[in-house]
Amino acid sequence: MSDAGAGWSHGDRALAAGKLMLAWIALLWLLEAVDAVTGHFFDRFGVTPREPSELVDVVPSAFVHFGFAHLLANTLPLLVLGFLAALSGIRRFLLVCALIVVADGLGVWLISPDGTNTAGASGLIFGLFGFLLVSGFVERRPLGILAGVLIAAVWGGSILAGLAPTQTGVSWQGHLLGLLAGVAAAFVLRRRPAPPALTP
């Protein structure tokens, strides 16, 4: 798959990735500030399972948080993992995020317990972790493999803890589905090597 930034330098890619993720984080904090002053109006955009009308909230739910503490817990991992994933190209990164958010949201809608309301960026975070973990292996890129190993070393413990079904008030289903969606994205959106140039 080609990317509009294929001819960019490493510095250009890093700058674009940094700007995108800072803007993304700023948007989440702005939304939460508005949510706080409107009596948590945006909380209704979480996903309540198996209600047909809730399908429209599959995407918005990834941008809604239940308070500043919830958002703060997601800010650093989303910033770091999003930045690393965006280094491979902005267009590809946005496609990866779209796949994760939609697959995770639909999965939550299907299998989460009745009466729950699920929202937040953690499903996307788990998805980006899964994507970064395996994409280097899928594409046979030594630097990508090294990045995956380092990410596993730094974030692996937190990821495993987030998958535990014993945590109260935490959607382990959303975390697991996000992780699986990220792994799937690494295969679906993998970069194939360019064919060798032929000389006459």
pTM for the model stands at: 0.92
Q: Above 60 in pLDDT, residue 2? A: no
Residue 4 pLDDT:
45
Tens-digit pLDDT profile for residues 106-118: 999 999 999 999 9
Tens-digit pLDDT profile for residues 50-60: 999 999 999 99
Q: Angle 172-188/122-139 helices, nearest 10 degrees? A: 30
The residue among 44 and 200 whose pLDDT is bigger is: 44
